[in-house]
Amino acid sequence: MAYKNFTVETDNDGIALVTWDMPDKSMNVFTMEVMDEIEAICDATTADDKVKGVVFTSGKKTFSGGADLTMLKGMFAMMAEEKATDAGNATKKLFDAAGRMSWLWRKIETCGKPWVSAINGTCMGGALELSLACHGRVAADDKSVKMGLPEVKVGIFPGAGGTQRVPRLTNAQDALQMMTTGSSLSPQRAKAMGLIHEIAEPKKLVATAKKMIKDGLKPVQPWDEKGFKAPGGAVWSPQGAQLWPAASGILRRETNGNYPGALAILKCVFEGLQLPFDTALKVEQRYFTHVLQTPEAFGMIRSLFVSMQELNKGARRPADVKPTKFKKIGVVGAGFMGAGIAYVTAKAGIPVVLVDRDMEAAEKGKAHSADIVKKGVQKGKTTQEEGDALLSLITPSSDYADLDGADLVIEAVFEDRDIKKTVTEAVEDVLKPAAVFASNTSTLPITGLAKNSKRPKNFIGIHFFSPVDKMMLVEIILGKKTGDKALAMALDYVAAIKKTPIVVNDTRGFYVNRCVLGYMNEAYNMLIEGVPPAMIENAAKMAGMPVGPLSLNDEVALDLSQKILKAAIADLGEKAVDPRHMDLVNTMVDKHGRFGRKNGKGFYDYPAKPAKKHLWPELKTLFPQQKADDVDVEVLKQRFLIGIALEATRTMEEGIVTDPREADVGSILGFGFAPYTGGAISYIDAMGAAKFEELCKTLAKNYGKHFKPTRIVQELAKSGETFYQRFGQEEAVKQAA
C-alpha cells in the first residue's frame, strides 16, 4: 500500500522501516491524515507474518515538532459547532477527539510486534509520546536532537500518554519537573532518565534500532508486565510522602494557580500511578478534555502557538515585495544593545559591520559576542569552531565608509535626537540607494527621526528588547512615510534572526513600552498610597507577571525613567506626567542616588553574591504605610492587569496597533504579560467587554480616571463583539466557549 506521508520498506530480516517524510513540509507534524496512515501501517505490519518488527524514523533533519495547527483548530471549531447545535454532546465529542492520538499509541504498543523509534533532530510533544509508546528508543548522538513535552507552554499538557509513560520510565520528581516546565532534554539526559535506551552515531541510527529488534526486543511495555513497579516508588510510600506535598507547594509557588494545564499534570500523574495503565489513560483523557475547554488553554494556544506562527511566517509582510537575502548588515553603536544586535545577526550567518566612535569602543562591542560564545562553549551549547565562525562575521570599525554595500543599517546609539540625527546623515552618505536605515529607539517617534533622512520611505524603526540574544520579540515601527519595501526588509531581517515581529504605527513609546510604563506607573501609585512594597511585588507575580514592577523598574534603570518622564514633560507639557511620580523618581535618583540594578541600589538593594537582592528597607518610610490586612490583594492584581490591558486598548483605538494578534503576542513576549491570559487583548475578550468595562468603572471610581474605560471598550460592551471580531481577526482558532 502506498502512503502520502510515509514510506515502508521491509528488509530481508523482516524489519519494516517506516520513514516519515511529509511532502511540501519543512517539518513533520501530526494531522488527521498522518494519524490515519500510522494506524493503517500498524494494522498492515501487524497482520503481515513476514514483518518481525518496525523501526519508525524521519526522513527529514528533524523527527517532528508535534501537532499541526489544523488539528487544534479543528478541535476548537468542532467544539464551537457542537455547542451551538447539541451542547449536551459537545464534551463527549471533544473527549473522543482528544483521545484519538492516545489510543492510537496504545494500539501500537500492544500490537504484539516490537516497534523502535529512531529519533533524529527535534522530537517534541506527540512525537515523543509516540516514541515512548514504542518498545525501544534510539536517539542520534547530535546536539540538534532535543526531546521534550512542551505542551504546558501553550496552556495544555501531554495528553497522549505522556503523563502516564514518563513517570513509569523515570522517577516521578524528574517526570513532573520535565512536564510542568516543558523543558527539553538532550539524548544524554534522556538516557540517564531512562526515557531512551540507546544513543547512536547519526549514520548508524537506523542500524542500531534494527539491531534492537534482531537482539530480541520484547514487544511488551514494562507497565504491561505483572509485578511492575514505578521507578520512583508508589504514591503512598515514604518517597511519595516526601514528593507530593512538596510538588504541590512548588507548583503553587511557581504558577500561583494560574495554569490549569500544569495543575492537571500533577493530578494525572498522582492519580494515574495508582491505577492500571488503560484506566490511567482514561483519567488523562478526561483531564485533557477539561483543560481544552478552559479560557487559559484557548488564549495561550491562539497567541503562543497559532498567532506566533502566523506572525513568524510573515502575516504582516507586503506580499508584492521580493524577499531580501542579506549579504551585509551594519550596526552603528557598539554599546550593550548594538553589540547584542551584532551578535544575533552574526548568529544568523549574516556578515555585520559594527561601527562606533573609535576602534576601542567597536572592539569592546565585538567582545560582548565573544563573551556569549565563550559561555555557550562552556555550557556545551556550541562548539569553539562554530563560535569562531560566528565571531569572524563581525567586523568592528570606526569608519562609516565600511557600511558601504550594506542592505540594512541599524542605528543603536543613545536616545538623543541630535546624536541620532548626526548618525543618520553620516550613514546615508555611504548607503546604496536601495538600502534601508532602521533606528533601534525605544521611545522616540520614528516620524520625527525620519525627518533627518533624505529617504524617509526607507526609514523604519526596529526596536529590540534587552538582552537582545534572549528576548524573542522585535517591534517594527512604521513612520508616516515608511514604504512597503522598508517594512518587508525589516520583517525579512527579523525572520532571518529567528525572532517574532510585531508591526506598529508611530507614537511615543510605541506599543510595548507604553504598556510597560503603565505597569510601573501603577506601582508608583500604590507606593504613594502606602501599599507595602512587598505586597506590590507579590500581587503582580500572583497576577501572573514574571517580574514585579519595582524589580522591573530597577532593571530598566530609575535614572532612565527620570529621563523619560522629563522628556515627556518637555514634549507634551506638565500634564503629561503625574507630578507625584516625578517627585518619587527624583527622590530615588537625586536624593538617594538609587539608579537601579546598574549601581546596586534602586527599589531593591543588590548585595554581593551569594546574597540575594531584597527590597530597600527605607522604601516604606517614604510614604505612610497601610496595614497589610487592609489591602485587598485581588484588587491589586486587577489594577495591574486591567491597567495594562486598558493601555493596549488605547493603542488599538488610536490605530497604533491594528492587529489584536500583535497586541497579544507583543504583550507576552515583550514584558511577560500574564501568559495564561493569552495576552492583553485576549484577557479582555475572555471575560467579555461588558464585564471588563464594569471593572474599569469601579477602579476608576476608587483609584483614578486612568482606569476610565476607553471608547472602544464601551462600544464592544454594548455590541457584544470581541476585539478579534472588531479588527477582522475572527478567532484563528474557534473559541469553544
N-to-C CA span, the chain: 42
pLDDT-based confidence at residue 143 (cuts at 50, 70, 90): confident
| Residues linked to residue 18 through DSSP beta bridges, in sequence order | 8, 56
- Phi first, then psi, for residue 355 (nearest 5°) are -105, 135
Q: H or E element: which one contains 438?
A: strand 436-439
Choice between 285 and 74, residue whose per-residue pLDDT is larger: 285
pLDDT-based confidence at residue 442 (cuts at 50, 70, 90): confident
Question: Which of 103-112, 388-397, 505-514, 697-706 has the least mean pLDDT?
Answer: 505-514
Q: What does the block give as the cell for 482?
A: 515608511
Question: Shortest CA distance to 65 belongs to which of 168, 195, 154?
Answer: 154
> Rounded CA gap, 198 and 215, in Å?
14
Residues contacting 509, CB < 8 A, separation 6+: 442, 443, 517
Q: Where are the CATH 1.10.1040.50 domain residues in the chain?
A: 513-726
pLDDT of residue 735: 44
Architecture of domain 513-726: Orthogonal Bundle (1.10)
Question: Shortest CA distance to 528 belongs to which of 612, 596, 585?
Answer: 585
Whether 733 shows a pLDDT value over 60: the answer reads no
Domain 329-509 has CATH 1.10.760.10: no
pLDDT-based confidence at residue 76 (cuts at 50, 70, 90): confident
pLDDT of residue 670: 93
> Taking a C-beta distance cutoff of 8 angstroms, is the pair 457, 439 a contact?
no
- Please state at what angle helix 32-47 crosses helix 100-109, rounded to 10 degrees: 20
> Taking a C-beta distance cutoff of 8 angstroms, is the pair 331, 412 a contact?
yes
Residues contacting 134, CB < 8 A, separation 6+: 56, 108, 109, 115, 116, 117
DSSP code string of 1-58? ---SSEEEEE-TTSEEEEEE--TT-SS-EE-HHHHHHHHHHHHHHHH-TT--EEEEEE
Query: What number is the average pLDDT over the span 386-393?
Result: 96
pLDDT of residue 69: 66
pLDDT-based confidence at residue 78 (cuts at 50, 70, 90): confident
Q: What does the block give as the cell for 451?
A: 525627518
> Rounded CA gap, 681 and 585, in Å?
30
Residue 397: C-alpha distances to residues 424, 444, 548 (Å) = 17, 26, 39
Q: Where are the CATH 3.40.50.720 domain residues in the chain?
A: 329-509
Cell numbers 513612520: residue: 479
Kindly report the average pLDDT of the chain as a whole number.
93
CATH topology (fold) of 6-293: 2-enoyl-CoA Hydratase; Chain A, domain 1 (3.90.226)
Give residue 260's identity as a one-letter amino acid code: P
Whether 737 shows a pLDDT value over 50: the answer reads no
What is the CB neighbour count within 10 angstroms for residue 336?
A: 14
SS3 710: coil
Percent of the chain with pLDDT over 70: 98
Residues contacting 423, CB < 8 A, separation 6+: 332, 333, 411, 413
Residues contacting 9, CB < 8 A, separation 6+: 16, 17, 19
Beta strands 136-140; 15-20: pairing state:
unpaired
463 noted as active-site residue: yes
Tell me: cis bond preceding 467? Omega within 30 of 0 counts.
Answer: yes
Question: Shortest CA distance to 499 belongs to which of 375, 326, 347?
Answer: 347
SS3 81: helix
Whether 73 shows a pLDDT value over 90: the answer reads no
> Taking a C-beta distance cutoff of 8 angstroms, is the pair 182, 124 a contact?
no
Per-residue pLDDT tens over the stretch 464-516? 998 999 999 999 999 999 999 999 999 999 999 999 999 999 988 899 999 99
- Residue 158's Cβ-count burial label (10 Å; 0-12, 13-18, 19+) is buried
Whether 24 shows a pLDDT value over 90: the answer reads no
Q: What does the block give as the cell for 721?
A: 463583539
Query: What number is the average pLDDT over the span 429-456?
Result: 92
DSSP code string of 330-374? EEE--SHHHHHHHHHHHHTT--EEEE-SSHHHHHHHHHHHHHHHH
SS3 140: strand
> Rounded CA gap, 254 and 272, in Å?
23
SS3 119: strand
What is the CB neighbour count within 10 angstroms for residue 668?
A: 28
Cell numbers 539524548: residue: 187
Pure H helices in 455-575: 484-496, 512-529, 533-542, 549-556, 558-572
DSSP code string of 373-398? HHHHHHTTSS-HHHHHHHHHTEEEES
Could you list the beta-strand ranges (E) of 66-114. Answer: 66-67
Per-residue pLDDT tens over the stretch 278-312? 999 999 999 999 999 999 999 999 999 889 999 99
pLDDT-based confidence at residue 380 (cuts at 50, 70, 90): confident
- Residue 363's Cβ-count burial label (10 Å; 0-12, 13-18, 19+) is middle
pLDDT of residue 736: 38
> Rounded CA gap, 382 and 224, in Å?
41
- Rg, the chain, Cα only: 28
Per-residue pLDDT tens over the stretch 225-249? 999 999 988 999 988 999 999 999 9
Per-residue pLDDT tens over the stretch 449-466? 999 999 999 999 999 998
pLDDT of residue 405: 94
Query: What number is the average pLDDT over the span 655-683?
Result: 96
DSSP code string of 160-173? TTHHHHHHHHS-HH
- Please state at what angle helix 162-169 crosses helix 172-181, rounded to 10 degrees: 140
Question: Which of 74-78, 246-250, 343-347 has the least mean pLDDT?
Answer: 74-78
pLDDT-based confidence at residue 730 (cuts at 50, 70, 90): low
DSSP code string of 193-240? HTS-SEEE-GGGHHHHHHHHHHTT--SS-GGGSTT---TT--SSSHHH
Query: What number is the average pLDDT over the span 695-701?
Result: 97
> Rounded CA gap, 28 and 367, in Å?
39
Whether 573 shows a pLDDT value over 70: the answer reads yes
pLDDT of residue 71: 74
Whether 126 shows a pLDDT value over 50: the answer reads yes
Any idea what DSSP says for residue 405?
A: T
Per-residue pLDDT tens over the stretch 151-175? 999 999 999 999 999 999 999 999 9
Indicate the Cα dihedral angle 116, 118, 119, 120, nearest 10°.
-170
Q: Where are the CATH 3.90.226.10 domain residues in the chain?
A: 6-293
pLDDT of residue 94: 87
In total, the chain counts a number of residues equal to: 737
Catalytically annotated residue among 290, 463, 581, 614:
463
> Rounded CA gap, 257 and 478, in Å?
39
> Rounded CA gap, 43 and 464, in Å?
52
